[in-house]
Structure 1
Amino acid sequence: MIDFEAVTVHYPDAPEPTLRDVGLHLAEGELCLVAGRTGVGKSTLLGAVNGLVPRFTGGRLAGRVTVAGQATDQRPPQEFAHLVGVVGQDPLAGFVTDTVEEELAYAMEQLAIAPEVMRKRVEETLDLLGIAELRHRALRTLSGGQQQRVAIGAVFTTHPQVLVLDEPTSALDPTAAEEVLAAVLRLVHDLGTTVVIAEHRMERVLQYADRLLYLPGDGTVRDGAPGELLPEMEVAPPVVELGRVAGWRPLPLSVRDARRHAPALRRRLAGRQPAAAHRAGAPAALTAERVSVAYGRKVAVREVDLTLRAGEVTALMGRNGSGKSSLLWALQGSGPRHAGRVRVAGDDPAEQDPRRARALVGLVPQTAADLLYLQTVAAECAQADAESEAEPGHCRALLDRLAPGVPAAAHPRDLSEGQRLALVLAIQLTAAPAVLLLDEPTRGLDYDAKRAFGRLVRQLADEGGSVLIATHDVEFVAATADRVVVLADGDLVADGPTAEVVCASPAFAPQVAKVLRPDPWLTVAQVATALAEAGPAAVAEDGTGTGPTVATGSGTGPTAATGSATGLGTGEAVS
Structure 2
Amino acid sequence: MIQFDDVTITYAEAAAPTLADVDLVVPEGELCLVVGRTGSGKSTLLRAVNGLVPHFTGGRLTGRVLVDGRDTRTHPPRELADVVGLVGQDPVAGFVTDSVEEELAYSMESLGLAEQVMRRRVEETLDLLGLAELRHRPLATLSGGQQQRVAIGAALTAQPRVLVLDEPTSALDPGAAEEVLAALQRLVHDLGMTILIAEHRLERVVQYADRVVRLVGADRPPLVGEPSSVLAGSPVAPPVVRLGEAAGWRPAPLSVRDARRLAGPLRERLAGLSPAPPPAAPAETLLRASDVVVRYPGTVALRGVSLSVGAGERIALMGRNGSGKSSLLWALQGTGPRHGGRVAVDGMDPADRRPAERRAAVGLVPQQPTDLLYLESVRAECAKADEEAGAVKGSCRELLDRLLPGVPDGSHPRDLSEGQRLALVLAITLTAAPRVVLLDEPTRGLDYPAKERLAESLRTLADQGRAVLLATHDVEFVAEFATRVVVLAEGEVVSDGPVAEVVTSSPVFAPQVAKVLAPQRWLTVREVSDALGEVTA
- Aligned: 1:424 with 2:425: yes
- Secondary structure at the aligned position of 2:535 is classed as helix
Contact 1:252 1:258 in 2 (8 A): yes
Contact 1:239 1:512 in 2 (8 A): yes
Match of residue 378 from structure 2: 377
Matched residues in 1 for 2:483 and 2:233: separation? 33
Matched residues in 2 for 1:461 and 1:340: separation? 27
Shift of 1:268: 0.9
Match of residue 85 from structure 1: 85
Matched residues in 2 for 1:399 and 1:509: separation? 30
Matched residues in 1 for 2:193 and 2:405: separation? 43
Q: In 2 relative to 1, CA 47–409 (structure 1 residues): closer, same or farther, beyond 3 Å?
A: closer
Deviations 1:334-390 (A, max 9, x none): 001101001111101111221222222111101112111122334333433444455
Match of residue 303 from structure 1: 304
Matched residues in 1 for 2:393 and 2:488: separation? 40
Q: For structure 1, which segment, 37-46 or 483-492, has the greater mean C-alpha deviation from structure 2 after superposition?
A: 37-46
Match of residue 328 from structure 1: 329
Matched residues in 2 for 1:50 and 1:505: separation? 40
Contact 2:235 2:449 in 1 (8 A): no
Q: CA RMSD in A?
A: 1.6
Matched residues in 2 for 1:397 and 1:258: separation? 40
Match of residue 364 from structure 2: 363
Match of residue 320 from structure 2: 319
Shift of 1:215: 1.3
- Secondary structure at the aligned position of 2:66 is classed as strand
Q: Percent identity?
A: 67
Under a length normalisation based on structure 2, what TM-score does the superposition of the two structures give?
Answer: 0.96
Shift of 1:393: 5.0
Q: In 2 relative to 1, CA 354–505 (structure 1 residues): closer, same or farther, beyond 3 Å?
A: same
Shift of 1:232: 4.4
Match of 1:516, as an amino acid? L
Matched residues in 2 for 1:416 and 1:52: separation? 15
Match of 1:325, as an amino acid? S
Matched residues in 1 for 2:406 and 2:124: separation? 49
Match of residue 340 from structure 2: 339
Match of residue 289 from structure 2: 288
Match of residue 238 from structure 1: 239
- Secondary structure at the aligned position of 2:232 is classed as helix
Q: In 2 relative to 1, CA 112–219 (structure 1 residues): closer, same or farther, beyond 3 Å?
A: farther
Matched residues in 1 for 2:401 and 2:253: separation? 38
Matched residues in 2 for 1:221 and 1:430: separation? 36
Matched residues in 2 for 1:316 and 1:503: separation? 16
Deviations 1:5-24 (A, max 9, x none): 22221222333322222222
Match of residue 29 from structure 1: 29
Shift of 1:402: 4.3
Matched residues in 1 for 2:115 and 2:144: separation? 29
Which runs of structure 2 are paired with 1:137-286 in the superposition (5 Å)? 137-217=137-217, 218-279=219-280, 281-286=282-287
Shift of 1:59: 1.4
Q: In 2 relative to 1, CA 232–323 (structure 1 residues): closer, same or farther, beyond 3 Å?
A: same
Match of residue 472 from structure 1: 473
Match of residue 546 from structure 1: none
Deviations 1:481-506 (A, max 9, x none): 00000000101000000000000000
Match of residue 128 from structure 2: 128
Contact 2:38 2:420 in 1 (8 A): no
Match of residue 114 from structure 1: 114
Shift of 1:401: 4.9
Shift of 1:407: 4.4
Matched residues in 2 for 1:168 and 1:89: separation? 7
Matched residues in 2 for 1:385 and 1:448: separation? 26
Q: In 2 relative to 1, CA 533–291 (structure 1 residues): closer, same or farther, beyond 3 Å?
A: same
- Secondary structure at the aligned position of 1:205 is classed as helix
- Secondary structure at the aligned position of 2:54 is classed as helix
Contact 2:443 2:451 in 1 (8 A): yes
Matched residues in 2 for 1:70 and 1:366: separation? 37
Q: For structure 1, which segment, 241-250 or 7-16, has the greater mean C-alpha deviation from structure 2 after superposition?
A: 7-16
Match of residue 568 from structure 1: none
Contact 2:294 2:339 in 1 (8 A): yes
Contact 1:280 1:310 in 2 (8 A): no
Which runs of structure 2 are paired with 1:31-110 in the superposition (5 Å)? 31-110=31-110
Contact 1:279 1:482 in 2 (8 A): no
Match of residue 533 from structure 2: 532
Contact 1:279 1:311 in 2 (8 A): no
Q: In 2 relative to 1, CA 9–487 (structure 1 residues): closer, same or farther, beyond 3 Å?
A: same
- Secondary structure at the aligned position of 1:48 is classed as helix
Q: In 2 relative to 1, CA 122–460 (structure 1 residues): closer, same or farther, beyond 3 Å?
A: same
Matched residues in 2 for 1:126 and 1:90: separation? 20
Match of 2:435, as an amino acid? A
Match of residue 563 from structure 1: none
Deviations 1:86-122 (A, max 9, x none): 1011100111111111110111011111100000100
Match of residue 483 from structure 1: 484
Contact 1:17 1:219 in 2 (8 A): no
Q: In 2 relative to 1, CA 6–415 (structure 1 residues): closer, same or farther, beyond 3 Å?
A: closer
Match of residue 521 from structure 1: 522
Contact 1:292 1:302 in 2 (8 A): yes
Contact 2:401 2:407 in 1 (8 A): yes
Match of 2:2, as an amino acid? I
Deviations 1:31-89 (A, max 9, x none): 11111111221112111112111111211111111111121112111111111111011
Matched residues in 2 for 1:432 and 1:221: separation? 40
Contact 2:39 2:420 in 1 (8 A): no
Q: For structure 1, which segment, 385-394 or 49-58, has the greater mean C-alpha deviation from structure 2 after superposition?
A: 385-394
Contact 2:404 2:450 in 1 (8 A): no
Matched residues in 1 for 2:430 and 2:229: separation? 44
Shift of 1:305: 0.8
Shift of 1:395: 4.0
Contact 1:382 1:392 in 2 (8 A): yes
